[in-house]
Chains A and B, each alone.
Chain A
Amino acid sequence: MLRILFAVVRRDLLLAWRRRADVFTTLAFFVIVASLFPLGVGPEANLLRTMAPGVLWVSALLATLLSVTRLFAADYADGTLEQMLLSTEPLTLIVLGKVMAYWLVTGLPLVVLAPLLGVQFDLPQGAIGVLSLSLALGTPALSLLGGIGAALTLGLRGGGVLLALLILPLYVPVLIFGAGAVGADAAGLGAGAHLLLLGACFLSALAVSPLATAAALRIAME
Chain B
Amino acid sequence: MTAPAKALAEKLPESRGGINWFKYASPQTFYPLAGKLIPLFGWPALALALVGLYLSFFVAPTDATQGESYRIIFIHVPAAWMSMIIYLAMAFWCAVGLIFNTRLSFMMSQALAPTGAMWTFIALWTGALWGKPTWGAWWVWDARLTSELILLFLYLGYMALVAAIDDPRRADRAGAVVALVGAINVPIIYFSVKWWNTLHQGASVSVTSAPKMASIMLAGMLVMALAAWAYSVAVVLVRVRALMLERERNTDWVAQLVESSR
Contacts and interface: CB of A to CB of B under 8 A. Distances in A.
Contact flag (A, B; Cβ within 8 A): yes
A121 interface: no
Contacts of A197: 192, 195
A197 B180 CA distance: 22
A215 B98 CA distance: 11
Contact of B153 (A148, A169, A208): A169
Contacts of A177: 192
A222 B170 contact: yes
Given A177-B192, A184-B199, A222-B169, A169 B161 contact: no
A116 B172 CA distance: 45
A85 interface: no
A134 B73 CA distance: 39
The interface residues of chain A, by DSSP majority, are classed as helix
Interface stretch (B11-19, B20-28, B182-190, B218-226): B182-190
B178 A219 contact: no
B192 A173 contact: yes
Interface in A160-203: 162, 165-166, 168-170, 172-173, 176-177, 180, 183-184, 189, 197, 201
Interface in A43-72: none
B156 to A, nearest CB: 6
Contact of A166 (B167, B173, B178, B196): B178
Given A153-B161, A158-B164, A212 B181 contact: yes
A180 B164 contact: no
B255 to A, nearest CB: 27
A189 B153 CA distance: 32
Interface in A131-157: 148, 152-153, 156-157
A34 B196 CA distance: 22
A220 interface: yes
Query: Which secondary structure dominates where chain B touches chain A?
Result: helix
B143 to A, nearest CB: 11
Interface in B134-193: 150, 153-154, 156-157, 160-161, 164-165, 167, 169-170, 173-174, 177-178, 180-182, 184-185, 188-189, 191-193
Contacts of A184: 199
B177 A212 contact: yes
B168 to A, nearest CB: 11
Interface residues of B, number: 29
A216 interface: yes
Contacts of A204: 188
B16 to A, nearest CB: 26
Contacts of A176: 192-193, 195-196
Given A166-B157, A168-B153, A169-B189, A180 B196 contact: yes
A194 B159 CA distance: 33
A169 B170 contact: no
Contacts of A216: 174, 177
Contact of A162 (B153, B164, B185, B199): B164
A203 to B, nearest CB: 12
Contacts of B196: 176, 180
Contact of B188 (A153, A201, A212, A222): A201
B153 A180 contact: no
- Most B-side CB within 10 Å, residue of A197, A219, A222: A219
Contacts of B193: 172, 176
Given A169-B150, A176-B196, A201-B188, A156 B165 contact: yes
B138 to A, nearest CB: 22
Contacts of B192: 172-173, 176-177, 197
A170 B181 contact: yes
Given A180-B199, A184-B199, A216-B177, A165 B160 contact: yes
Interface of B: 150, 153-154, 156-157, 160-161, 164-165, 167, 169-170, 173-174, 177-178, 180-182, 184-185, 188-189, 191-193, 195-196, 199
8 contacts: A169-B150, A172-B189, A176-B193, A177-B192, A180-B196, A204-B188, A219-B174, A222-B169
Given A157-B164, A162-B157, A183-B199, 10 more contacts: A152-B178, A165-B156, A166-B161, A169-B153, A169-B157, A176-B195, A197-B195, A212-B181, A216-B174, A216-B177
